[in-house]
């Protein structure tokens, strides 16, 4: 029983210490009443192909594919993260999820 409790505690601690923003697949960015969503979408469980989708549906503008990659999944991650950082620098509050 004690070993099971240690195992559970180890799993919980491992999950809680995982980086979130660095490996995030999605962000919600807010500025006043405006809301934007950034998503990295993958067609399969593999890193590629991937696309970065920028959504402004709350403004009636819909979503746009900003970047795609067929050979390097890290490209989509870097582009999406960079966009979230850029918006944050412009006064938006971006939260990874």
Q: What is the pLDDT of residues 23-44, one digit of tens each?
A: 469 999 999 999 999 999 998 8
Average pLDDT, the chain: 81
Q: Is the pLDDT of residue 50 over 50?
A: yes
Phi, psi of 89 (to 5 degrees): -65, -20
Q: What is the pLDDT of residues 10-20, one digit of tens each?
A: 333 333 333 33
């Amino acid at each position: 029983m004690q070993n099971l409790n240690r195992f559970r505690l180890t799993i919980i601690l491992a999950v809680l210490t995982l980086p979130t923003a660095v490996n995030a697949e999605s962000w919600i960015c807010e500025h006043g009443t405006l809301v934007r969503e950034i998503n990295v979408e993958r067609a399969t469980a593999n890193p590629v192909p991937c696309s970065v989708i920028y959504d402004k549906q709350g403004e009636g503008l819909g979503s746009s594919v900003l970047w795609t990659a067929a050979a390097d999944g890290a490209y989509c991650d870097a582009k999406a993260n960079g966009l979230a950082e850029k918006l944050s620098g412009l006064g938006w509050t971006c939260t990874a999820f």
